[in-house]
Homo-oligomer: A and B are copies of this chain.
Amino acid sequence: MQRKIRNMEEFAAISGISRPTVSKYFNDPESVRVSTRKKIEAALEEYDYHPNVFAMNQNRRTTKNIGVVVPNLADPFFSEIGRRVELACIKAGYSPILLSSHGNPDMERDNLNSLKSLKPAGVLLAPFGRLSDKDAVKAFDADIPVVLFDANMHDVGRAFVGTDHFQSVDLMVEYLCRSGEPPCFFEMKNPLNPNANKHRQAYIESMERHGQTPNIYQVSGNGWDFEEIGKAEGDRLLSEGAFKTNTILCSNDRFAIGLLSAAYGLGFNVGHGPECNLRIAGHDDHPFSRFTCPPLTTIAQDYEAIANRSVSTLFALFEKRESPPERQETLFEGRLIMRESA
């Protein structure tokens, strides 16, 4: 590090290349001749120069920024998948900007708005689903390509990548039926998380396919405190003996964690052993589900595949010149994680 470089002009002079060529290099190092690239990179090693991002992006129609918006980073599910998306973007040479809507659909719109001024090359959005502002997202997508992940919205965004919840829930229902009794379904009346309705519907269809009668328990409660609601309402239903079956499929793992906690407090013996009197299963393979008591039987979504495919799908949209084909939906299969709770 000799002396500080003030701007690209100065850096170009030092490296013996013209400024426009240096500019080209920073936009895409592959776009300049090898000998030129070598010269520039040699100069970069010697001097500490970084192009001014603001000046860089001012005249560009689009930047190397990628917006990533998730409903709620406080939910480990989203922090996990957000993390993987972030890393995939970095690996591809882009700058991810991870925004959480903090559980508030209105903030999703705000986030898209503030992203717009950052002229991102594209946006990866895990929407709230039916709670999202569909028109706002569509309008946004008209300017900047949006790929949805985790939760689908009909006809919104250029593509969707997620889990096949009908397959995954069926996997679980099939397993529970085969290894014991058909499950009832435990969920919130007005669930905030995006795929809750899909889970219920998949449960109903799957039960009917197995010749069983669906049996759904919906409890009230607001907000994102799924564990709290699952525990409080689970405690109530369990102590009332309200569940008609001893096998309970929860809408998601966080809800199941609450129910497990309630069951423990009431002295139930949860598991699939002969001495057990309650089976509890969840969905999502929450990071903590392997440490619940007993460890939770659940469905693992393929986070890594979803993250990578979302990113590659988005990048294909603006890296290739190809005219975008019709909106495609990619579904990965869920994996049954058999643990001790069911």
> B-contacting residues of A (Cβ < 8 Å)?
50, 52-58, 73-74, 76, 79-80, 82-83, 86-87, 95, 97-98, 100, 102, 114, 117-119, 227-228, 231, 257-258, 260-261, 264-265, 287-288, 290-295
Starting from the known contacts A54-B55, A227-B291, A261-B293, 9 additional A-B residue pairs (CB-CB under 8 Å) come to A52-B117, A55-B58, A73-B79, A73-B82, A95-B114, A98-B100, A261-B291, A288-B288, A293-B293
CA distance A57 to B52 in the complex (A): 10
Question: Which residues of chain B are within 8 angstroms of A117 by Cβ–Cβ distance?
Answer: 50, 52-53
In the bound complex, what is the Cα–Cα distance between A258 and B293 (angstroms)? 10
30 contacts between A and B (CB under 8 A): A50-B117, A52-B58, A53-B54, A54-B55, A54-B57, A54-B58, A54-B119, A55-B58, A58-B58, A73-B73, A73-B82, A74-B76, A74-B80, A74-B83, A74-B287, A76-B76, A83-B102, A86-B102, A95-B114, A97-B97, A98-B100, A227-B288, A228-B290, A231-B291, A257-B291, A260-B293, A261-B292, A265-B293, A265-B294, A292-B293
Partner of A79, one of B52, B74, B257, B261: B74
| A58 CB contacts on chain B under 8 angstroms | 52, 54-55, 58
Cβ–Cβ contact A102 & B82, under 8 A: no
Residues of B within 8 A of A288 (CB): 227, 257, 288
What's the Cα separation between A53 and B294 when bound, in Å?
52
A68 CB to closest chain B CB, in angstroms?
A: 11
- Tell me if B264 and A294 are in contact (CB < 8 A): yes
Instruction: Closest B residue to A286 by CB, please name it.
Output: B288
- Chain B residues within 8 Å of A264, by CB: 293-294
Interchain CA distance A257-B117 in the complex, whole Å? 43
Q: By DSSP majority rule, is chain A's interface helix, strand, loop, or mixed? A: helix
Nearest CB of chain B from residue A5's CB, rounded to whole Å = 13
User: For A56, what are the chain B residues with a Cβ–Cβ distance below 8 Å?
Assistant: 54
Taken together, the copies of this chain in the complex come to 2
The answer to whether residues A100 and B74 also contact, given A291-B231, A293-B261 and a CB cut-off of 8 A, is no
State in angstroms the CA–CA spacing of A260 and B295 once bound together: 11
Measured between alpha carbons, how far is A293 from B73 in the docked complex, in Å? 25
CB distance from A30 to the nearest CB of B (A): 22
Closest to A107 in B: B90
Complex: how many Å from CA A54 to CA B53? Answer: 8
CA distance A206 to B218 in the complex (A): 48
Q: Is the CB of A102 within 8 A of B87?
A: yes
Nearest first, the 3 A-B pairs at minimum CB distance are A293-B293, A264-B293, A54-B58
With a cutoff of 8 Å between Cβ atoms, the chain B residues found around residue A79 in the complex are: 73-74, 76, 79
Q: How far is the CA of A278 from the CA of B152 in the complex (A)?
A: 47
- Nearest B-chain residue to A295, judged by Cβ: B261
Complex Cα distance A95/B102, Å? 15
Q: Which of B53, B55, B291 contacts A118 (CB 8 A)?
A: B53
In the complex, what distance in Å separates the CA atom of A56 from the CA atom of B117?
11
* A103, closest chain B residue (CB): B83
> What CA separation (Å) do A79 and B74 show in the bound complex?
6
Q: Closest B-chain residue to A50, C-beta based?
A: B117
> What chain B residues lie within 8 Å of A95 (beta carbons)?
114
In the complex formed, the residue of B with least CB distance to A118 is B53
In the bound complex, what is the Cα–Cα distance between A61 and B118 (angstroms)?
19
